Every structure is written in structure tokens, then in C-alpha cells.
A and B are shown apart, each in its own frame.
Chain A
Amino acid sequence: MTAQDKSCPEGTQGSPDAYQRKLALSDDILMKIEKPARYIGGEVNAVMKKKSEVDMRIAMCFPDVYEIGMSHLGIQILYDMFNQLEGVWCERVYSPWEDLDAVMRKEKIPLFTLESQEPVKNFDWLGITLQYEMCYTNILQILDLSGIPLLAKDRDEAFPIVIGGGPCAYNPEPIAEFFDLFYIGEGETQYEALISLYRECRQDKLGRKEFLRRAARIPGIYVPSFYEVSYHEDGTIASFSPIEEKIPAVVVKEIEKEVSSTYYPKKPLVPFMRITQDRVVLEIMRGCIRGCRFCQAGQIYRPVRERSLEMLKEYALAMLQNTGQEEISLSSLSSSDYQKLPELIDFLIEDCSKKHVNISLPSLRIDAFSLDVMRKVQDIKKTSLTFAPEAGSQRLRNVINKGLTQEDILQGAALAFQGGWTRVKLYFMLGLPTETEEDIRGIAELSNQIAAVFFETVPKDNRVNGKVQIVTSTSFFVPKPFTPFQWATQCTKEEYIEKAYLTRNAIKEQLNQKSIKYNWHEADTSVLEGVLARGDRRIAKVLLKVYEKGAMYDAWSEYFDNEKWLSAFSECGLDIAFYTTRERGLDEIFPWDFIDCGVSKEFLKREWQKAQKEEISDNCRKACQGCGISRFGCGVCVEEHSYQKGSVYENQD
């Protein structure tokens, strides 16, 4: 199959005979609320279908406000995929902003999709993407406003099947009770099978439970109601097992092996209003070869699979033509590792400069090649360069396996300053395992050294405004499932804050402190993010409780209310420390252990132990580390490698 075979057929999008749209909200409401364009749909490339020609209605939800949700690539891929299927109409729904939320509750207006403007409650499926933990209360908002019972067990045949997917589905347990099923892994592979099964069960009137029972046997599908958890007295998990025969004990993640010939939107949606990422996004590859030990994406999206140059060229042209966007962004976890990047960029520069299209290149390693490229595509006076050393000392960078040395950074900075850049952003994490005061001071020292490099490399006469601007930002490290650091203890709020103060003070002591601006992230949300990330099924009652207290939009600092969360935990008799600062034994059963993300627990353990010994691991192209993903037989695992075949880990999987 070629890439073209799965592109969207002509005529389904915005056809004039498509059914006429009456808005769900009255003019009075739309004129009263902020940004009514969030709720009207009808954007360029929105898909309208005739109701008489579809038998399967899917509401696809990003549980945050429109501007955030519309910026998300995953939904655009699934939206395009579903709408190519015969008889299926996939529509979108986002969280109503606080002002509309209040109106809808008061006037009892059910939550609706943007395309047909019909109540979500009448749909066959409600799919919710789970991109970050702090949106969990918004899931409850979506269900509540839709008029769907919050708990899956309370839903009967009248309600949609509620499906969760996305990175947070890799530990679905804290929200397991709110979902009928989870799809673990990449959406391109099993949804057709799930739709067929649904249609079959509906036709034979087998009922909701039987559909779920059969769905649980489809690869990648997890139906929480068919599993039971028991706990030890100390609160850790004693057992986690299916309660029926034929329900798999382990759910293996799904991946798309043929990333160059699968679904990808040629006609992405173009919003009317300004959104967070208002550009064409070209996903050049999935996965990452690097294996940073704190990074969940680097593990769960393994193995690295590159899309072919031919596909990317074809899609870039088509997407720009069909959207009229002024900017194209290359997306991946580490774009510098895409092997044909120079060819791709040459092609884009050639084509885009004719069309006055900007090229945006996030997640590039700073070196001579990338600086040369950036000089061609960006206005260096207006842009800043970003380095993500993540840790302040080489020792700690070895612990986290961040293969970026001080030399790399300082050389990159020197090249950048010679090239005319004067603004540098630095990203670090505080609270990493084994971190000492010295490592924290390293953040300040590295920031200072970069400033010094500027003064050394750029002669006084050539300095724009005579200044260099270093913006050093720290976030707090939160241990995530399926990473080598899943065993790590998390810091308390007080420890986090102390570390931020230490960083700030250390920066103030630097010679070039006037050139350095320091930002840090909020500590409260980091603690909660950690609870939700590594939480178990018991967390659901806390979520219900805190939602009852009015928590919503927790990812938005202006709405986040830590007091509500603290009291919800204490009312539910659950201890935050159990989920955050507790030492986890190497043999503890984790809530997410029933999921097989391709990377073995043994590998993660090895990496955790290597971390403590400050030993680094090579990237996938340099030497296979035997993570276990090679049994999927695709991507980097089957590439021709320069290293010797038959290495120690070759047959270990």
C-alpha cells in the first residue's frame, strides 16, 4: 500500500450537500461568552457527513480548551483515519471554558460535538485522549456535561462506550473506573477491528458487556472491569488478574510498523481562531534512540521508526496546499536523529521559500549542521536557541543518560554566538535521583559559563545591544511509569522548593548573573502529577471527590487549587506520600505492570541500576541495549547497524 491509498477521499469534506448546521448554543449565550469561535466548528477541512450515510458516530475529545486540543497531532491523525472509514463519522469535542461550563450547568445544555453540534451522549463512542495527568478532572467535566455517568459500571446501553488512549493510558489505573476500555498504543492498527466488533455486537444485540468482553481479546485493548486488584496490608499490590477466562493477563501495546504507508492527514483542520500550535505538523518519525532515563516517551514509543523521505515530501506539499498554513513544523522526539534530515530540510527550504512558508525545527541538537539550517530558516535576531542539558553536572547527566556533554553545550553555544544568536534557553530538571547540592550549583555554573562563552567569542563591537540573554528554566522531575526511574522516590513539595531556592541563589552568585534569568515551575502540581502518574485504582475516588469540590483545569495554574486536592486525599483516607516519596522495592508489583509496552521490566531494572552507578547506555544505533522491543521486528531494530551483530543482548528478548 502506498501512502496515497489511505489519504482522505475527495468529497467528504465540506461538501455543499452536507447537512446544515444549527448551533447547539443560542446566540445569547455565544454573544455572552469569551471566544465563541471555540464552539461553532465549521473550520476549513472539518468533515461533515450525511447522518443517513453513517451508522457509527465517534466523538473524539481532548479534555482541555479548544486552543490546546486543536494543537494536538494525535487527534488530527485519528480524525482523518476514522473519517476515511465507510459509515463512520468522527467529530470533535473539547472542554468548554469555565464561562461556558457554568452556563451549560445552569441551563442544562448537554455537551455537544463541534461538527454536528449534537449531544455527545447520543454517540456510539466517546474517545478521550490522555496527554497529561493534570487534565484528569477535565475528563470528569466532559462526562458530567455530556450526561454520561462518571463511573463505567453505572452506564447502560443508552450511553456511549467511553475509550481512553494516549501516553497516560500506559498507567490507566487512576482513571480506570471512568472508562469502559483503553486502547494501549498507537491508534492506527486496531480501531477498524474494534469498529467491526462493535457493529457486530450491536446488530446481534449482544449488549454492552458482551462487546467489552470481546473487545478485551483484541490486541492492545484493556477493559478494566474484567480485572481485579488485591492489595497487601502495606497498600502495595498483591495481585492483579483477569476475573474471567479468555481475558488476557497482559495487554501488549499496539504499534504501527509501516509508518510510511499508514494514515496521516493530508487535509489537517485549520482553525479560525489563533491556537497554541497554529501550523502544519509533519511527524518525521516515532520513537527515540536516546534512552534518557527520566523520559517516558523515549520508552513507550520504541522502536524508532522513520517515515520515508518520499512520504514526507508528498505530505508536506499536500498539507501546505490544503491548509494554506504559513508554517510547517517537523515533529519527533529528536529530529537530529532522523537520518535523512539534510535531504528533507533541503527540499523544504527549496519549496517553502518560494511559498513564503516558515520552517520550524524543534528538538534539534545544536551543532554546526543545525545552526546552519536554522540560519537559513529563521530570523536569528528574533529566535532563541534551546539547549536541554536537563542536569547541571556531567555526573548527573550520566545518571539520567542524557548524552549531552558540557563540551557539546559550550561548543554549540560558541558556534551560535558566532552566528549571531544572543538568546539562549536552558532547560533543567530539579529533584532527579541521586541529585546533590553540587549538581544543582552546576546549573548555575553552566549558565554562567555559557554567558562567559558569549563574552569570549563575540568582540565588543559586534555585540547586539552589548548583551547576551540566558534564560534558565527548571521543572521538577516526576517519576513516570515505564521508565528506569519508575522506582525512584519523588521529592516533597518542600524539597522541590528548597532546590529551586538553591538554584536561584547559586545563579545570583555567578559572575554573569545579570545575563541570566531564572524561571521555575510550580511545586504543588508536580507532586500531584506524580501521584496521578504512578497511582493505582484507589485514586479514582480522590478524583471524584476533588471534582465534586469544583476542581477543573488543573493544568492551568490560575485554576489549580491545591487545598481542594489535599482535603480530597484526606477525606478519602489516602496518603500522598505513599505514591510519591515511598521507596519502591525492585520486586513490587506496579499498577501498570499488566501492560507490556515492549520494553521489559528487566531492562528498566538494569537501567535503574546503571543509573545509580552513573553508567551511561549507548543509543539504539550505536549498540542494542536489549530492551525487548526488537521482537516487534521493525524500525531501528531491523536497520543495518554499524555495530557488531550478535552483541550480548541480541538474542536476549
Chain B
Amino acid sequence: MKIRIKFRKYGNLKYIGHLDVQRFFQKAVRRAGIDVAYTTGFSPHQIMSFAAPLGVGLESNGEYMDMEVNSFTGCDDIVNRLNRASVEGIEILSAVVLPKEAGNAMASVAAAGYTVRFREGRAPAFDWRGQMAAFFARESIPFVKETKHGTAEINLKSGIFALELREDDSIYMLLNASSAGNIKPQMVIEAFLTAYQDTLKENALLITREETYTNIGTSEEPVLVPLAAVGLENVYA
């Protein structure tokens, strides 16, 4: 049986990397006494898959991890056990049972929503609030990307599904997070500032990933839903 776990990564644990989070869960699952399935072979490992990696320095309210279990004790029980085995900085929010045909967490990711704030004193000098809508309405949003062979200009436009200024001065953005077309929030802000002849100050952004989405529509007409929505909630043992 395949379980999808949704969790939050916050506070001081934003300084641990994606590999550390994976290792944390491998151990937490053992401490929690969850009957996780292992691969066969001489060095078996837990059958686990993580959704989109989160960069160091970012917080998240919508991280996902899938795992295969041999026996099932109920969604609530899994959440409670994992939270008891966890530490401040990682909180398990929900567990759902995935239908057999569901793809793994990593392959399922289509988009992610982010809240982005400028740190105090590090906002751009121009009227960024006033210009945001116009920027998003542009036909092309060029961004110069560093590659192995130097730099390449890409167009972010098709990967930005939403970009809006919120009342608390934060910016909400919904971005392509698929393995093929992943866009980082900082890229959007950099493109925005470049368009207005400004540059981003060092460590200027506070970024929270709010949710990770999968596409249950088609590639032409996408329907984005949270990764947990494809599973069954409140399943009891």
C-alpha cells in the first residue's frame, strides 16, 4: 500500500538540505515503527519517493513524501507516529492512501505555489508593486540562466501560471515545478528586477513554498490539484 505524507518544513530546519530531509525521514520512519517496505537485494532500502526538492533557506507548508508500507495502521495513526518521532522544524500535516495507478511523488509534480517577500531594506528601489501586473502581462519574460557551458536565455513566461501582489506586500506565484521545466521563485524576481534595470540584493528574499501540485488534466488543459488530492483521506486500518 502506498501512502502519501504531506509535511511542513519551517524555522531552523530551513538550513538543512534535501538529502538531509530524506535521511531524516528514513530514520524517523524507523523510530515511528512504521512497517515500511524495502527493496529486495543485498542492500535493501526503504521504498520512498520525495516530491520536488526544496532549496536550503526556503520554508515550506506543502512538502510531500510517498512510501510503500506492508501493513497499514490508519492515516491518523501514521501522522501521529511520525510527529512523535519528529523534531521542531518538521511537522507532518496529513497522510493519504494513494490509488494503485498514482505515479510517485517526484514524477507527479507539475507546479508549486510560493509566497515571496522582500526582506526589510532589500526591496527594489522602483515602484515594484505598481509594475507587477504589467510585468506578468508581458508576452515574453526573458531570464539568463547559468548552464554548464556558460549562459543561456530562456523565456519564463509559459512556466509562470500565476503572479500576484497580495495585501500584506507579499508576492504569490504559481510556477512550473516539473523536472523538465522547474522555475525557482528567485528567477522570476530576478527577471522582474532586470526588466526594470534593477538587481536583486544579496539574500533579499524570504520564500515559503505553500503547496505542491500535480496535473490531473491534460498538458493542453491542465487542472492543478495539491499532490494529496489524488489520495484517499481518513482511511482507517
Contact = CB atoms under 8 A, between A and B. Distances in A.
Q: Are A and B part of the same complex?
A: yes
Interface of A: 14, 21, 23, 27-28, 30-32, 36-37, 40-44, 270, 272-274, 320-326, 355-356, 358, 379, 381-382
Interface residues of B, number: 28
B87 A273 contact: no
22 contacts: A14-B87, A14-B88, A23-B12, A32-B203, A37-B16, A37-B20, A42-B87, A43-B87, A270-B27, A272-B16, A272-B24, A273-B17, A321-B31, A322-B31, A323-B31, A324-B26, A324-B27, A324-B28, A324-B31, A324-B85, A325-B27, A382-B43
Given A32-B203, A44-B27, 14 more contacts: A28-B202, A31-B56, A37-B16, A37-B17, A40-B12, A40-B16, A42-B87, A44-B24, A44-B87, A270-B27, A274-B23, A326-B26, A355-B30, A356-B46
A326 B38 CA distance: 12
Contacts of B69: none
Contact of A273 (B16, B27, B42, B89): B16
A36 B28 CA distance: 21
Given A14-B87, A37-B20, A42-B87, A30 B26 contact: no
B57 A31 contact: yes
B44 A356 contact: yes
Contact of B20 (A21, A273, A323): A273
Contact of A42 (B19, B30, B31, B88): B88
Contacts, number: 75
Contacts of A324: 26-31, 85
B15 interface: yes
Interface of B: 12-13, 15-17, 19-20, 23-24, 26-31, 38, 42-44, 46, 56-57, 85, 87-89, 202-203
A382 B42 CA distance: 10
Contacts of B38: 356
A359 to B, nearest CB: 13
Contacts of A379: 42-43
Residue of A41, A274, A356, A382 ringed by the most chain B CB atoms within 10 A: A356
A320 B30 CA distance: 9
Contacts of B29: 324
Contacts of B88: 14, 21, 42
Nearest to A39: B15
Contacts of A32: 203
A355 B28 CA distance: 14
Nearest to A21: B12
Nearest to A41: B12
B28 A40 contact: no
Given A324-B26, A324-B28, A326-B26, A36 B203 contact: no
Contacts of A31: 56-57, 203
A358 B56 CA distance: 30
Given A31-B203, A272-B20, A324-B85, A42 B12 contact: yes
B63 to A, nearest CB: 15
B41 to A, nearest CB: 9
Contact of B89 (A42, A274, A326): A42
Residue of B16, B29, B85, B202 ringed by the most chain A CB atoms within 10 A: B16
B204 to A, nearest CB: 10
A50 to B, nearest CB: 15
Contact of A36 (B44, B46, B56): B56
Residue of B15, B17, B30, B89 ringed by the most chain A CB atoms within 10 A: B15
Nearest to B86: A44
A358 B13 CA distance: 28
Given A14-B87, A40-B15, A27 B203 contact: yes
A270 to B, nearest CB: 6
Contacts of A14: 87-88
B59 to A, nearest CB: 11
B203 A28 contact: yes
Nearest to B27: A324
Contacts of A381: 42
Contacts of B87: 14, 42-44
Given A324-B29, A324-B30, A324-B85, A42 B203 contact: no
A382 B43 CA distance: 10
Given A270-B27, A324-B31, A42 B13 contact: yes
A429 B134 CA distance: 73
Nearest to A321: B31
Q: What are the nearest 4 A-B pairs in CB distance?
A: A324-B27, A324-B30, A324-B31, A36-B15
A185 to B, nearest CB: 34
Contacts of B26: 324, 326
A642 to B, nearest CB: 40
A14 B84 CA distance: 11
Nearest to A48: B88
A31 to B, nearest CB: 5
A251 to B, nearest CB: 41
Contacts of A36: 15, 56
A276 to B, nearest CB: 15
B68 to A, nearest CB: 14
A323 B29 CA distance: 10
A596 to B, nearest CB: 43
